[in-house]
C-alpha cells in the first residue's frame, strides 16, 4: 500500500503517518525528518536545507526528489510506504509519478488531513520535538508522561525554530501557494481521500482506517 499524506504544516500528517506505518507495517518516510537528521549530522545537504527551512520556505525540488526516489526504491519499501511531507509541489508530484511509472507502479491513496489555518498556529506553538529521536508531542493534545522529556528515548523536548508563529505564518502562505494545488492533482487522478483533521487524533486515525481497510 503506497500512501501520500497531504495537509498544511501542523495538520497532523506526521502523527497519522506514524500510526499508519505501525498498523500496516510499512516504512514512514518523512522528508522533514530526513532534512532534520542531515542538519543534526552537519551534512552538506543539511546545511543547504537549513537556509530554506529556517525561513519557512520549501527546499528546492532538486534537493528533494532524488532523495525520495532513492528511498522508495529500497527493499523495505517493497510492500509500500507512507510519504509524509512529500510531494509538496506539482513538479515533485510529477517526478514521483514518473519514477513510479518507470517501475510499473502507482500511488494508491493521497490522504488530505484537513485543518483550517485558524487551528494551525495553536497546533504548532504547542508542538514539541525530541532533540534526539525526533518524536513529536503536543503540550495539550499529545503530552508526555514527564514534562519536557521524550517518552520514547528520554531526550529533551524543544519548540522547533520553524514552529515559531512568524515562521508558521510564512509556511502557511507557502503551503497555500505551492502545496495545496496537489489536492486537485490527486483528485484528478481519483486517489484523493479527505479526512477531518480537527477532531481528536484517535478519531482522525479511525477515519483513515475506514479508508484503507482493517
Question: In the window 54-73, what residues touch ligand AMP (CB under 6 A)?
Answer: 57-59, 64
Our finding on whether 24 is near ligand AMP (CB under 6 A) is no
At closest approach, how far in Å is the CB of 142 from ligand AMP? 16
As a whole number of angstroms, the distance between CA 164 and CA 166 comes to 6
At closest approach, how far in Å is the CB of 51 from ligand ADP? 20
Q: Which residue out of 19, 123, 127, 128 is catalytically annotated?
A: 127
Q: Note whether 22 and 128 are within 8 A (CB).
A: no
As a whole number of angstroms, the distance between CA 105 and CA 113 comes to 24
- Using the rule CB under 6 A, which residue among 2, 19, 88, 138 binds ligand ADP? 138
Question: In the window 153-182, what residues touch ligand ADP (CB under 6 A)?
Answer: none
As a whole number of angstroms, the distance between CA 115 and CA 119 comes to 7
**Can you give 119-156 as a three-state secondary structure string?**
HHHHHHHHEEEECCCCCEEECCCECCCCCCECCCCCCE
Closest to ligand AMP by CB, 57 or 207: 57
Q: Which residue out of 36, 123, 128, 171 is catalytically annotated?
A: 171
At closest approach, how far in Å is the CB of 41 from ligand AMP? 16
Clarify whether 123 is annotated catalytic. Answer: no
Q: Note whether 198 and 115 are within 8 A (CB).
A: yes
**DSSP conformation class of 145:** S
Looking at the chain, how many residues does it have?
A: 214
Interface mask (CB under 6 A) for ligand ADP, residues 105-134, using x and -? ------------------x--xx-------
The catalytic residues are: 13, 88, 127, 160, 171
Amino acid at each position: 500500500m503506497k500512501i501520500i499524506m497531504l495537509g498544511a504544516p501542523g495538520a497532523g500528517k506526521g502523527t497519522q503517518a506514524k500510526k499508519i506505518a505501525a498498523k500496516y507495517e510499512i516504512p514512514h518516510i518523512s522528508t522533514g525528518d530526513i532534512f532534520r537528521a542531515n542538519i543534526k549530522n552537519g551534512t552538506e545537504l543539511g546545511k543547504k536545507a537549513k537556509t530554506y527551512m529556517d525561513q519557512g520556505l520549501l527546499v528546492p525540488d532538486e534537493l528533494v526528489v532524488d532523495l525520495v526516489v532513492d528511498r522508495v526504491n529500497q527493499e523495505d519499501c517493497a510492500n509500500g510506504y507512507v510519504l509524509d511531507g512529500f510531494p509538496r509541489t506539482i513538479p515533485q508530484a510529477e517526478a514521483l509519478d514518473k519514477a513510479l511509472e518507470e517501475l510499473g507502479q502507482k500511488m494508491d491513496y493521497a490522504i488530505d488531513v484537513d485543518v483550517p489555518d485558524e487551528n494551525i498556529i495553536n497546533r504548532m506553538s504547542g508542538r514539541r520535538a525530541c532533540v534526539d529521536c525526533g518524536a513529536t508531542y503536543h503540550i495539550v493534545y499529545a503530552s508526555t508522561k514527564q514534562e519536557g522529556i521524550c517518552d520514547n528515548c528520554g531526550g529533551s523536548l524543544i519548540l522547533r525554530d520553524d514552529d515559531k508563529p512568524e515562521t508558521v505564518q510564512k509556511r502557511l502562505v507557502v503551503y497555500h501557494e505551492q502545496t495545496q494545488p496537489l489536492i486537485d492533482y490527486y483528485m484528478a487522478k481519483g486517489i484523493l481521500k479527505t479526512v477531518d483533521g480537527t477532531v481528536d487524533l484517535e478519531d482522525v486515525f479511525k477515519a483513515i482506517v475506514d479508508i484503507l481497510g482493517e
